[in-house]
Amino acid sequence: MRGIDADFAGWVRGRQLGLLRGAWLVTGDDRRAEEVVLSALTGLARRWGHLGEAPPEAFVRARVHREAVAEAEEVAAAGGGPAPGLALLALLPPRERAVLVLRCLEGRSVDETAEALGLVHRRVREAESAARLALAPADGAAPTPLEVRALLEELGARVREVELADRAWQQALLQRSSARRRVLSTLVVAALAAAGLWVGGRGATVPHDAATDRLSGLTGLTGVRGLGGPATVGLTPVPQAAEAVWHTTTDGLKYVVAPPAGTEASQPQLDTGLAEVIDPDRLHQLASSRRPSGLESLGDAVYLEERSPGRWVPVVVWGDGQLFTLDTVSLTGLRSGTGLPRPPLDVWAFSADKTSLAFPQPGGVVVVDVGTRSAHTVPIPSPDLQWAGWLGGYLRAGSTEGTWSPGLSPRWPAPDPPRSPGAREFRVQKGQTVLDEHSPDVSARAIPVGWPQTHPLGETVSDAAQYASAFTLAAGDGPPLQAVDPRTVIVATNRHGYQRMLVFGDEQPRDPDCCTVLGWTVRHEVLYLSVAPSGTWIMGWDPDTGIVHRVTHFLTSASVPPVIALGARFTVG
């Protein structure tokens, strides 16, 4: 269950738009609808291959509509008003909306509708009748099922398709491997207790002795000295901010000012599945040791540790804070365009299916299979590669000489690999920043970006529906901004097509590369790396609401630079 099953991908891609529209017609909220459908498809992915002759439609239908009704009822119970986009449907209770979607839009029978929603037949008929009567004009009859269907199709047409097959499959992989690790941890604790090594509670350190060696034999983890949790650094949860303060430039671009440098710890916590602290001093499991079953999971992030001058090893991070060091892989540091040394890691290190990692090296790209720990080098005819990563399932690498796509062409530089229709990126063209939509229409041209015009900092991170990139500001760039000495901005275009900006003031000195865009969460927040006097933080910014959260405190040091790539839970493209 590693690479996505072709039948599963085909089934999901043929139905995901209909599922999203049905969930939105019940919830009235794009984000909740997407989360509901993704959750149902993740459950299906975990069972794929074990369904026998049972069709998957009934399973997904029940999960989507029951969860959509529960979400909508939760919003109503909390005092939330009806979604304006639902028009007349907003007058109906969520369960009646779900009945209309199933009966009129999807054409389900009373039996199928009752099974999907967990109702008796009488309740389905009563809900449908009441809903149609509520939609009737004051002086007219209730609409027919065909008229209701036309209304639902018209309202649902605003919902855009989102690619969910890969994300559902990856989440299913992650859940399965996390469950295996929990079982393994339970067995290790039992072994510790049986050996008389559990000395006072979770996280206690056991001195290295003969008993510890016996434990290593039981677990296969050389040097295991206890199950230590991540170090605490006083991250006290605080209430979520109610709203952000929006400003507008003279050109009409809306923006918010990022929290001042040094205040990251006081921001509300955003749960993305990463641990609150990534602590390199926590006990590492080693690839060189015999590895027990259940640890072949996809990683949630990867960073590098410098073991000797110019020599690096990758460290994979799981969402619960566990660390797995690929000490069987030795990497050489790179030289930037200015000749300064830098670690060989970029934000696109994980492949699209999150099973492989790519690291640029002089004359080639080292590709590591996370599950098997095997590594091989893809040769590139350039001794000064500056970056490497994945564009979907295609490997790319680049230097001052050009861009290579190994495996696609025997010539070099090879042409860029094909892009998904709708993919977007910012790039500089003749001294001006443009937005390239990469639309299926080959005659389409890049769109000039009004501001900022130049100085991109890193590449564009896109999931086709949204895209974001960081820019540094030179003197005189753009109109005046309501921030203290602004030097960096993140420009994002959200899923509704609106351009938004996050502005970083320089009230305290920040690192020149302070604000690298790392990826997108499934809930549409931009994740970025903030390197500030208070330390290195992964922060989340929602371009829709403008609110900034803290995600993870990354405890960097002289041997662990503030460079990281995100994996299984995130979209990076």
Q: Domain map of the chain by residue range?
A: 6-156, 165-219, 247-407+423-566
pLDDT, one tens digit per residue, over 158-185 is 888 888 888 888 888 877 666 555 555 5
Q: What residue type is 17 in one-letter code? A: L
Q: What is the share, in percent, of the chain residues with pLDDT greater than 90?
A: 29
Residue 514 and residue 525: Cα distance in Å, rounded? Answer: 18
**pLDDT value at position 74?**
87
Whether the predicted pLDDT of 28 surpasses 50: yes
Query: How is 163-223 classified by DSSP, letter by letter?
Result: --HHHHHHHHHHHHHHHHHHHHHHHHHHHHHHTT---SSTTPPPPPSHHHHHHHHHH--TT
**pLDDT value at position 182?**
57
247-407+423-566 CATH fold: Methylamine Dehydrogenase; Chain H (2.130.10)
**pLDDT value at position 481?**
81
**Domain spanning 6-156 has what CATH number?**
1.20.140.160
pLDDT, one tens digit per residue, over 35-50 is 999 999 999 998 887 7
Query: Which region holds residue 94: left if phi is over 0, alpha if psi is between -120 and 50, else beta?
Result: alpha
**pLDDT value at position 400?**
73
Whether the predicted pLDDT of 226 surpasses 60: no
pLDDT, one tens digit per residue, over 93-109 is 999 999 999 999 999 99
Whether the predicted pLDDT of 189 surpasses 80: no
Q: What is the share, in percent, of the chain residues with pLDDT greater than 70?
A: 75
Q: Can you read off the two tokens belonging to residue 208? A: 């290295």
Pairing of strands 515-520, 499-504: unpaired
If you search the block for the tokens 């207790």, which residue do you land on? 193
Residue 272 and residue 274: Cα distance in Å, rounded? Answer: 6
Q: What's the whole-number mean pLDDT along residues 239-258?
A: 76
Chain-wide mean pLDDT for the chain?
A: 78
**C-beta separation of 428 from 454 below 8 A:** yes
Would you give the DSSP letter of residue 89? G
DSSP-H helix ranges across 28-55:
30-47
pLDDT, one tens digit per residue, over 341-358 is 889 999 989 987 778 899
If you search the block for the tokens 């295609």, which residue do you land on? 394
Q: What's the whole-number mean pLDDT along residues 472-500?
A: 77
**C-beta separation of 545 from 284 below 8 A:** no
**pLDDT value at position 345?**
94
**CB-based contacts of 564, cutoff 8 Å, min separation 6:** 278, 301, 302, 303, 345, 518, 529, 538, 554
Q: What residue type is 24 in one-letter code? A: W
User: Cα 327 from chain centroid?
Assistant: 27
Residue 108 and residue 71: Cα distance in Å, rounded? Answer: 22
Q: What's the whole-number mean pLDDT along residues 190-214?
A: 44
pLDDT, one tens digit per residue, over 395-427 is 888 877 777 777 654 444 555 555 554 556 676
**C-beta separation of 437 from 466 below 8 A:** no
Give the count of beta carbons closer than 10 Å to the beta carbon of residue 407.
11
- List the Cα angle 227/232/235 in 5-degree steps: 140
- List the Cα angle 32/177/352 in 5-degree steps: 65
Q: What residue type is 64 in one-letter code? A: V
Predicted TM-score of the model (pTM): 0.64
Q: What residue type is 236 in one-letter code? A: T
State the pLDDT confidence band at 373, using cuts at 50, 70 and 90. confident
